[in-house]
Structure 1
Amino acid sequence: MSEEPIPTNPLGGRTLIVDPTDQRCYPTPSAALKDVAESDQVYVRPGIYEDKLVVTQRPIRLVGAGRDRVQIFCRRSGPLYLQEVPEGWITGITFRYVGSDQHSALNILNSTCIITQCRAMEGILSGVVLYGPECRVAFTDNEVCRNRESGIFVFAGAQPRVADNRCVENHHFGIAVRDSGSRPDLVRNLCEDNMLSGILMFQHAEGLIVDNVCRNNQHWGILLTPDSHPNPAPSALPTMNRLEPNGIGVYSISDQPLAQIGR
């Protein structure tokens, strides 16, 4: 069987290959990331890898062979942590947390990069946490599923673009946004079959909410607190998004949005 073609590095640097069955390659993604120069990228061949990736204050360029073919899981903490990553991309990988402590599958602090065509699953906290006032991640075309709290949680002043994602079968909300200064663009996301509502915006959060589909959630399509500031205004949300059918209704405004989970 011939080897799969290696994706071209658009920056012209090296492509470091991860394949534990090939002695010419790196055994794990984290081992390859330790050796990258600024213009290098890492390519992960199909497989299941027990690993933890931590990247701080440098670019990341990590390409997997596809989220249905590459899985990175971790037992003791979340499998991916980015802090102050200034640029780069991550694509084509499933990140899975399989431990029992309070961790997410993707933990992204104050970073600016692209995360696309990945999957985040089984976080004990939310599947993906995007936070910090310098967080400007483009989180697009991902699948976020079966996490114990919300699928995607934006907080602490983050301003990411969250678009074209599929947030399904999460225990709380498909997407949740909290805190003054948090201002994501939520565009064309599918929030479906979540155990509470499709989208929650609370505690002075604001953000663009357009062209999303929130359907078949147990409670509401969108749930807001009175101090949140969605764009468009709440009364226009059903026109600018598809918010039915859901278990209770289209949208609601409540000063106790977490009462159902005892918070």
Structure 2
Amino acid sequence: MTEFTELYKNLSNSELLKIIAESDKYNPIAVETAKTEIDSRKLSTEELNQAKTEINKQEEKKKLEIEKRKRQEGKIKENASTLFDTINPIQNGIQTPEKIIRLTTLIFSGIAVYRIFKEFGMLRYMFTDSGAKWDLSMVEYFFHLIVLPLAAFLFWKRKKSGWILLSIFLTYSAITVIGLFLMNIGRQPSGIPALESLFPTVSPITYIMTLIFFGGTLWLISKEEIRNIYKISKQTMFLTIGLTIAVNVIYMYSIIG
């Protein structure tokens, strides 16, 4: 009791009245001490009303804060739900072109960031080391690092050049996968650990799934409703894909030859 008495002498009138009003939240001794302290202060009606007004203001402020927090939480949940609905590849009904564009942009932006992070050391070496030499093989090595981020950004901006660059990347990647698959058909382990670590044997399923991914995405963005958004005609589509295939095949043949 003495402990509460000394403590409550330093509390304001509104704080004491709040303890009394919310007696179910406090120790009975604390409530009785608050009542005793209030009685000892001999408050006038004006002082009591002022204390009650302060309590009401505090309660109103608390309610506003709670409502604000609820609105913020609701907004976050709504935005998260909208984002999930936008990028969710498993949806009822047919996906709209807008959802396909956003999902494609999200996936390939992620791939671009991952590849840049993975090759960052090599990129730093090529751009900062005086001994680094750029040739056709190095341009080919960094092709995806140069084209993919730009393609993803322009594709997201609904630019014609974004569709063309992404189609070039997808076609190039699909043809490269086919080439690697053909080169590894019938390949037997060398039995030399060092070589196996440098050139590990890849399962045919991996090549097939990768080809389906790139080829499927190319087919998806080549659909008429998507091409119309980017103002891509059939002629432009066939020319873009055909030239990319031709250049890639010629390049791969020159390496093998």
User: What TM-score do you get using the length of structure 1 for normalisation?
Assistant: 0.21
**Highest CA radius of gyration, 1 or 2?**
2
Q: Which has the higher helix share?
A: 2
Select the structure that is richer in strand. 1
